[in-house]
Amino acid sequence: MRKMFRPQNLYGAKIMSSILIGVILLPCLGWAEEPVSQPDHPNILLVMCDQLNASVLSCYGGPVPTPNIDRLAREGVHFNQAVCPTPFCSPTRASIITGMYPHTHGVVANCAPPYTSRQEGIHVSDTATEKILHDAGYATHHYGKWHLFGDPLSYYPDMFCPDFAYRAEMDEVFAKVRATDRRQWMDWYSWALPVATAPCLQAAANSVSERWVNFGFKEYYQDFVFKIGRLRLPHEQVYDIRVGELTARRITALGKQNHPFMVTCSFNAPHDPDVVPSPYYESFDPDKIKLPANYNTREERFEKNWSRVMVADLGEASLREFLRVYYAMVKMVDDQVGRILAALDASGAMDNTIIVFTADHGDMAGGHGMFWKSTNAFYDEIARVPLLIRYPRQFQPQTCELAVDLTDLMPTLLELTGQPIPDQAQGQSLVPFLTGCRSPAEARRFSFSERVSRNPKWTRDVSPKAKGSFMVRGEGWKYIRYHQSDEYLYHLTEDPGETRNLIGEPKHAARRDEMFAALNAWLSRTGWPGTWKRNKASQ
pLDDT tens for each residue of 131-179: 999 999 999 999 999 999 888 899 999 999 888 899 999 999 999 999 9
Contacts of residue 365, defined as CB under 8 A and 6 or more positions apart, other chains included, come to 53, 55, 56, 292, 323, 326, 371, 381
Q: What is the pLDDT of residue 19?
A: 30
The pLDDT confidence band at residue 33, using thresholds 50, 70 and 90, is: very low
Q: What is the pLDDT of residue 202?
A: 84
Same domain, 88 and 134: yes
User: Does residue 13 carry a pLDDT above 60?
Assistant: no
Instruction: Give buried/exposed letters for 272-294 (b at 16+ CB in 10 A, else e).
Output: bbbbbbeebbeebebeebeebeb
Same domain, 91 and 130: yes
Q: For the domain that residue 533 is a member of, what is the CATH number?
A: 3.30.1120.10
User: Does residue 4 carry a pLDDT above 60?
Assistant: no
315 forms beta bridges with none
Which burial class, exposed, middle or buried, applies to 392 when counting CB atoms under 10 A from its CB (0-12, 13-18, 19+)? middle
Alpha-carbon span 264 to 269, nearest angstrom: 15
Same domain, 243 and 200: no
For residue 2, tell me if it sits in a domain: no
Coil, strand or helix at 196: strand
Q: What is the pLDDT of residue 533?
A: 59
Alpha-carbon span 321 to 274, nearest angstrom: 10
Alpha-carbon span 291 to 302, nearest angstrom: 19
Same domain, 358 and 216: no
- Which of 209, 231, 253 is the endpoint of a domain? 231
Same domain, 96 and 243: yes
Same domain, 431 and 475: no
For residue 3, tell me if it sits in a domain: no
CA triple 162-166-171, angle to 5 deg: 120
Q: What is the rounded average pLDDT of the residues 337-350?
A: 97
Same domain, 177 and 165: no
3 state SS for 289-322: CCCCCCCCCCCHHHCCCHHHHHHHHHCHHHHHHH
Q: For the whole model, what pTM was predicted?
A: 0.91
Concatenate the DSSP letters of all residues of 322-339 into one string.
HHHHHHHHHHHHHHHHHH
Same domain, 409 and 468: no
User: Does residue 26 carry a pLDDT above 90?
Assistant: no
For residue 62, tell me if it sits in a domain: yes
- Which of 387, 404, 438 is the endpoint of a domain? 438
The pLDDT confidence band at residue 113, using thresholds 50, 70 and 90, is: low
User: Does residue 472 carry a pLDDT above 50?
Assistant: yes
Alpha-carbon span 427 to 447, nearest angstrom: 10
For residue 63, tell me if it sits in a domain: yes
Alpha-carbon span 405 to 411, nearest angstrom: 12
Q: What is the pLDDT of residue 10?
A: 33
Same domain, 277 and 252: yes
Q: What is the rounded average pLDDT of the residues 88-93?
A: 95
Q: What is the pLDDT of residues 401-421, one digit of tens each?
A: 999 999 999 999 999 999 999
Q: What is the pLDDT of residue 419?
A: 97
Q: What is the pLDDT of residue 420?
A: 96
The mean predicted confidence, pLDDT, of the chain is 90
User: Does residue 11 carry a pLDDT above 80?
Assistant: no
Q: What is the pLDDT of residue 63?
A: 98
For residue 32, tell me if it sits in a domain: no
Least confident of 29-43, 82-96, 426-440: 29-43
Q: What is the pLDDT of residues 357-376, one digit of tens each?
A: 999 999 999 999 999 999 99
3 state SS for 130-191: HHHHHHCCCEEEEEECCCCCCCCCCCCCCCECHHHHHHHHCHHHHHHHHCCCHHHEEEECCE
For residue 378, tell me if it sits in a domain: yes
Same domain, 269 and 291: yes
Same domain, 115 and 130: yes
Alpha-carbon span 535 to 480, nearest angstrom: 12
Q: Which domain holds residue 493?
A: 463-538
For residue 199, tell me if it sits in a domain: yes
Structural domain count of the chain: 3
Question: What is the identity of the amino acid at 325?
Answer: V
- Which of 183, 203, 231 is the endpoint of a domain? 231
Q: Phi then psi for 535, rounded to 5 degrees?
A: -65, 115
What proportion of the chain, given as a percentage, has pLDDT over 90? 79
Q: For the domain that residue 314 is a member of, what is the CATH number?
A: 3.40.720.10
Alpha-carbon span 146 to 135, nearest angstrom: 20
Q: What is the pLDDT of residue 15?
A: 28
Q: What is the rounded average pLDDT of the residues 181-197?
A: 95
For residue 9, tell me if it sits in a domain: no
Same domain, 184 and 290: no
- Based on its alpha-carbon atoms, the radius of gyration of the chain, rounded to whole angstroms, reads 23
